[in-house]
Structure 1
Amino acid sequence: MRATVVVDNRKSDALPGEWGLCIYIEYGERKLLLDTGASELFAENAEKLGLDLSAVDAAVLSHAHYDHGNGMEAFFRRNDHAPFYVGPTCAANCYAGRWLFRRYIGIPPTVLSDYSRRIRYVREKTEIFPGVTLLPHSTPGLQQAGRREHMFRRVGGRWQPDDFSHEQSLVLETEEGLVIFNSCSHAGADNIINEVAAAFPGKTVRAMIGGFHLYNKSEAEVKTLAQKLEATGVAYICTGHCTGPEAYELLARTLGRRLHPLQVGLTMEF
């Protein structure tokens, strides 16, 4: 398995970045795309990296936020066949803010209807190819996380704290163990690792890759997560995007050589 970071907050010397994430994954003969960043930058970077978007066999939206789904329409224009897998409650209804001052942070408003024949909703653990599984959240009480983050969904004309039921993990089986991709880990990176471990009994989680949404967390919260991640025993943790540089440095104090930074152009092989 080979995964290439196409978009991340951290640019490379040759390629620009943005607040968003996109990862191109080659798994045996299959080619997968996780997220499409916040703009068409992912397509420009993919071309420069020699990655063929028209050859992608399946695309996955980690969750229904703009910085992961704003490039969806650009992907559909470049690929005429790949199904696009989204979470069970994925909709254009995500907002952030306090009181009446809430701004829209969701995916393009009409993309799910405009490309409905390509959209696949994942409501339970689903193997889309041999060794490639999508896993919605099973951790209870995630509305508390949405309330803490001041994130909401507009459902049936009413505001609800986001329970991140539109968020899903992409899990790949390798000879070294399970590799998890979860782009923002709103449910908590430690919870996600535990969800995957429970869904694949008897298998080892080798790697956790994605953003951890720590850029707005206190030092104490970051240190607590670092201890929880250390306790999981996961040997390879690669994070960036919404983790934030300050939080990354705090994580590194506990996780040491287990921790690696995401960056545009980074290639990971398992």
Structure 2
Amino acid sequence: MLSHGHQDHFGGLVGFLQAHSGKLKPKLPLFVGGEGCFCAREWAAPPVRGSFGVIDRKALEEVDLAVTVAARPALVADHAVATGQISQKTFEKVLSPSAMTIGFDRGIGCYPERLSEAERTAPVVPDQFQHEIATAFNLKGRGLVVLTSCSHRGVVNAIKEAQAASGVEKIHAVIGGFHLAPYQEDYVRDTVKALQEIDPTYVIPLHCTGSHFTKPRGLRCRQSS
């Protein structure tokens, strides 16, 4: 599964597939949230602006990978749940640190006709991460383990999408980046409050979460011994 089309999430994919060519099961599915995952990207925010990569679709075809678009909830390997595209249902806002270049050329890029009307209106558009997906596992008797990836569309939105997709309300763990680094403390406090209301057993923030969230005065979590 590929959460979204940022280079720091797919950068090793083609090399891994090529290194294991011939050893993988034919038509091994690669789940993505939408066509936007394959658009070329430019990083438009500080500290360094420039190319942020694009997936080599031809390389995926050469290793006989089956790209599976999970725009809606999907069962993965009989036990994981792909949320499908994450709706904007809460106070959370989408930041656009990257811009998508619309178009397909020589095996690289995204097909404009497969994108939403809003996304294909111009050659370059701010990335709204409509292709972003999260992954959830139902840990028997304990609830969902939600892998948020970067939460570009909001960590609370991702959790709620996982709950809706799986039919499981109890959250055992939230793991991933929460993408709160650029936001002001008031926004982070709203996120903390929303997470407290959801009441996960464990909160495990990873890259791009931001120091505002991880400071001691942030969310009080239970700690494992």
Same fold (TM over 0.5): yes
Structure 1 residue 67 corresponds to structure 2 residue 31: no
**Distance in 1 between the 2:169 and 2:131 partners?**
25
**Distance in 1 between the 2:157 and 2:223 partners?**
18
Aligned partners of 1:145 and 1:163 also within 8 Å: no
- The CA deviation at 1:258 is 3.8
**Distance in 2 between the 1:259 and 1:223 partners?**
21
**Which residue pairs with 1:55 in the alignment?**
none
Structure 1 residue 115 corresponds to structure 2 residue 60: yes
Q: 2:194 aligns with which of 228, 244, 249?
A: 228
Aligned partners of 2:85 and 2:132 also within 8 Å: yes
Structure 2 residue matching 1:83: 3-state secondary structure? strand
Matches within 5 A, 1:1-270: 60-79=1-20, 80-81=24-25, 82-89=28-35, 90-97=37-44, 103-108=50-55, 110=56, 112-116=57-61, 117-118=64-65, 119-140=67-88, 145-146=93-94, 148-155=95-102, 156=112, 158-175=123-140, 176-244=142-210, 246-250=211-215, 252-258=216-222
**Which residue pairs with 1:47 in the alignment?**
none
Whose strand proportion is higher, 1 or 2?
A: 1
**Distance in 1 between the 2:193 and 2:89 partners?**
21
Q: After superposition, what is the alpha-carbon deviation per residue over 1:121-161, rounded to whole angstroms, capped at 9, x for unaligned?
A: 2221110222211112241489x945x43432222452222
Identity of counterpart residues, as a percentage? 26
- The CA deviation at 1:236 is 1.0
Aligned partners of 1:97 and 1:103 also within 8 Å: yes
Structure 2 residue matching 1:194: 3-state secondary structure? helix
* Number of aligned positions between the proteins: 193
- The CA deviation at 1:91 is 0.7
Per the normalisation by structure 2, the TM-score is: 0.74
Aligned partners of 1:190 and 1:228 also within 8 Å: yes
4+ residue segments displaced more than 3 Å: none
Aligned partners of 1:141 and 1:163 also within 8 Å: no
**Quick one: which amino acid aligns to residue 104 of structure 1?**
S
Q: What is the alpha-carbon root mean square deviation over aligned residues? A: 2.6
**Quick one: which amino acid aligns to residue 39 of structure 2?**
A
- The CA deviation at 1:259 is 7.2
**Distance in 2 between the 1:126 and 1:216 partners?**
31
Q: Structure 1: where are the runs of 5+ without partners?
A: 1-59, 261-270
- The CA deviation at 1:66 is 0.6
Aligned partners of 1:238 and 1:259 also within 8 Å: no
Aligned partners of 2:33 and 2:85 also within 8 Å: no
- The CA deviation at 1:162 is 1.7
